[in-house]
Amino acid sequence: MKRKSLLISLIFLLTILVLSACAGNVESPPEENSDMEQESDSMEEGMDHSSMDDDAIENGHMSHDEVVSLNGSTGENELKIPPLLESDNEEEVVYTVRAQEGETEIFDGTNTKTYGYNGSFLGPVLQFEEGDTVKIRTINELDEETTFHWHGLEVSGEEDGGPHNSLKPGEEELIEFEVTQEASTLWFHPHPEGKTSEQVYNGLAGLIYIEDDNSKSLGLPNEYGKNDIPLIFQDKTFDDQKQLNYSAAMNDDGTIGDTSLVNGTLNPKLTVGKEKVRLRLLNGSNARNYTFKLNTGDSFVQVATDGGFLNKPVTLDEITLTPSERAEIIIDFSQLNSEDGLALINEEDGSILLPFEVSGQSGEDSSIPEEMNDISITEEEMNLPVTKNVELFGMMDMVTINGKKFDPERIDFTQDQGVTEVWEIYNKPDMMGGMIHPFHIHGAQFKILSRNGEEPPENERGWKDSISIEPDETVKIAIQFKQKGVYMFHCHILEHEDNGMMGQVKVE
Ligand SMILES: [Cu+2]
């Protein structure tokens, strides 16, 4: 073990040396870096890859840090369910969303300083219906700039809440948009330049539910908080005073905490009936990947991806979500033996995320229809040439896209409104192997055409706005923007985003 750590430190030191040698070069396009590539190629040959830490590889954090395990839930607190936000008036959909500071009793008897929307920690669920005209009064009550970004929502660049839409302390803005997309579970969080990770870490995150005629007719579990449960998974580190001390916890390669919170609840448990229960999973953490699994090994069914329902339900034993990805899954508690305790665990480290208490009552029997959606990849889309190349590279604060760091004044790509293009995204490994980068594009839902030339797995054949990309993996997606504006595309490890792993596409 000691020899292993020594080797890891050595590899890290070598990486720093090579990276800092290239640091003066970050502005040049990737094709011109052949010298640097050759150098690292020849160095790689001399490296013993088998010496790398297996756990670190599994967690996708191939940096010098091992991913710290989560404290499992003891199940002593009932899971908090975020409130559904009510419209300000009855004739139209008008919401007020305030970003504010507050104190939250996460630990019994102690107040932790936190951020929240319309409350002290996290936020309410915003509900839209396809076709709605929505007005949102966004108010910044923080002592610092923030933005209100609607992750996964197909709105114009003006309403998107990227770093260009910053509100100063005390400022407010009324935004208005039409909901043009299908039923899905989206979310909202801040996106100010260089400050996203800290503000999300402190508690700014909430969910958005979109419903449509299809979602209302499918007969899936839909009693909010009873058999249709929102679940925001996050990991935090608390200091001796039980405070969130971001600058102390911060890691340039993604801040990982040892304490699991679900909907902001420490040691949560969820009481369910003996029925099918729909869980809307959001990985709302800054950097940690979760692989959700039942402790009994029983399977469950995935019904939706980031941006809508799958065509048909997909049976799974586990599902991995990288930061910002969502999935809706259905667990049939009427079919499970709950005598020895059931729980959702994180396969990555075996920790208990959410124990279930199954009450004897059987609820209403809902069924999962065989056909839920009609998303397809057309022959035409399959044959489109690649017109945008994205190369993700680096670690710590030396992360780049196509060899460049974010510059708010620079437009990296242009694309025409309503025109489908194929983007090819490549995660270029470094000499340590590289790490998973969760890649997100604002303002659109896209379809995955292929992963390393192969058809994507069944449960990814739905609308996506965020996608996990492994080191040395090439992913092709078909994407169309319905609206105009400047949109961000970036790594959703929030510290990578803040460190400049972000670009801009202008849709006109
Ligand atoms: Cu990244």
Question: CB 275: neighbour CB atoms within 10 A?
Answer: 22
Q: Which amino acid appears at position 245 of this protein?
A: N
* Cα(437) to centroid(ligand 1), Å: 4
On whether residue 456 sits in a domain, the answer given is: yes
Q: What parts of the chain have a pLDDT lower than 70?
A: 1-66, 361-364
Do 208 and 97 sit in the same domain of this protein?
Answer: yes
Domain boundary among 217, 242, 261: 217
Residues pairing with 109 in the sheet: none
Are residues 185 and 82 part of one domain? yes
The answer for 60, left when phi > 0, alpha when psi is -120 to 50, beta otherwise, is left
Report how far ligand 1's centroid is from the alpha carbon of 436 (Å).
7
**pLDDT value of position 152:** 98
Measuring CA to CA, which residue among 501, 490, 487 is closest to residue 162? 487
Shared domain for 350 and 314, answered yes or no, is yes
Co-location of 330 and 393 in the same domain: no
User: How, if at all, do strands 474-479 and 112-117 pair?
Assistant: unpaired
416 Cα: distance to centroid of ligand 1 (angstroms): 27
Is the domain of 81 the same as that of 192? Answer: yes
The confidence score (pLDDT) of residue 363 equals 62
- If you measure from the C-alpha of residue 324 to the centroid of ligand 1, how many angstroms do you get, rounded to a whole number? 12
- Residues 277 and 389 reside in one and the same domain: no
Query: In this structure, are 184 and 247 located in the same domain?
Result: no
- Distance from the CA of 472 to the center of ligand 1, in angstroms? 13
CB 417 within 8 A of CB 483: yes
Task: Supply the pLDDT for residue 364.
Answer: 66
Which residue reads 């229960």 in tokens?
A: 277
Cα-to-centroid distance, 90 and ligand 1 (Å): 43
- 190 and 241, same domain (yes or no): no
Q: Does one domain contain both 446 and 386?
A: yes
Cα of 429 vs centre of ligand 1, distance in Å, is 12
Closest CA to 256 of 91, 116, 48, 71: 71
Question: Given 358, 391, 413, which residue is the final one in a domain?
Answer: 358
What is the pTM for the complete model shown?
0.88
C-alpha to C-alpha distance for 411 and 419, rounded to whole angstroms? 18
Per the domain annotation, does 403 fall within a domain? yes
Are 411 and 479 found together in one domain?
yes
* Residue at 169 is within a domain: yes
Ligand 1 mean position to 491 CA, how many Å? Answer: 5
72 CA from centroid of ligand 1 (Å): 26
> What type of residue sits at position 317?
D
* The pLDDT of residue 18: 47
438 occurs within a structural domain? yes
In a domain, 430, yes or no: yes
Q: How many domains does the chain have?
A: 4
Q: Whole domain around residue 488: which residue ranges?
A: 379-507
Instruction: Give residue 332 CA to ligand 1 midpoint distance, Å.
Output: 35
The answer to whether position 72 is within a domain reads no
Taking the centre of ligand 1 as the mean of its atom positions, its distance from the CA of residue 468, in whole angstroms, is: 10
**CATH number reported for the structural domain that contains residue 174 in this entry:** 2.60.40.420
Calpha distance 449→470 (Å, rounded):
16
- Same structural domain, 213 and 305: no
418 plus 495 within the same structural domain: yes
Say if 61 falls within a structural domain: no
CA 385 to CA 423: how far, in whole Å?
Answer: 9
- Residue 58 DSSP class: H
The rounded Å distance from CA 112 to ligand 1 centre is: 29
Asked if residue 92 belongs to a domain, the reply is: yes
Question: How many angstroms is it from 201 CA to the middle of ligand 1?
Answer: 17
